């Protein structure tokens, strides 16, 4: 009896795990969270995203994009932040996106990034330096 119960539990867990894995390209599209809107695109075998909008992207006139003034590369400090590719190198592996890099326009730092599609229209990412536990999670919704 215990063997049968264990087999049923194992079967349910494997079915649930299988059902949650979405195809890698499902991440492609436009996503928005409270403070940002991005467009994820495929770049070779990895995924990247450009910044479409952020709550602090424009100067006080709400029209002129801010410059990338915090960028450690002096040649990049004058570029507008709107439209920059700020997520690069996400690799799809076992139902998750790993090994990505996130360039932050707020502080000019680059962070590690990982993510997972919770559903076809819900994405969760976590940016961090060193240890994921010490990072920040963003919950995104697909824009249709």
Per-residue pLDDT at 138? 96
1-24 average pLDDT score:
54
115-124 average pLDDT score:
97
Per-residue pLDDT at 96? 97
Per-residue pLDDT at 2? 54
The model's pTM is 0.83
Where along the chain do its domains lie?
24-143
CATH of the domain spanning 24-143, picked from 2.40.128.520, 3.30.300.90, 2.40.160.40, 3.30.1490.20: 2.40.128.520
Distance (Å, rounded) from C-alpha 111 to C-alpha 40? 17
- Contact between 27 and 47 under an 8 Å Cβ cutoff? The reply is yes
- Residues of the chain above pLDDT 90, percent: 78
Distance (Å, rounded) from C-alpha 22 to C-alpha 16? 12
Per-residue pLDDT at 93? 96
């Amino acid at each position: 009896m215990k063997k049968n119960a264990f087999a049923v539990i194992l079967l349910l867990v494997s079915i649930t795990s299988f059902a949650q894995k979405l195809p890698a390209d499902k991440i492609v599209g436009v996503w928005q969270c409270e403070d940002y809107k991005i467009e994820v695109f495929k770049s070779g075998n990895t995924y990247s995203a450009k910044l479409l909008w952020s709550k602090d992207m424009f100067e006080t006139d709400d029209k002129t994009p801010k410059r990338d003034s915090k960028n450690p590369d002096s040649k990049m400090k004058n570029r507008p932040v709107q439209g920059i590719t700020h997520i690069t190198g996400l690799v799809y592996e076992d139902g998750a996106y790993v090994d990505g890099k996130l360039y932050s326009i707020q502080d000019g730092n680059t962070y590690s990034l990982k993510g997972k599609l919770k559903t076809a229209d819900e994405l969760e990412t976590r940016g961090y330096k060193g240890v994921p536990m010490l990072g920040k999670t963003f919950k995104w919704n697909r824009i249709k």
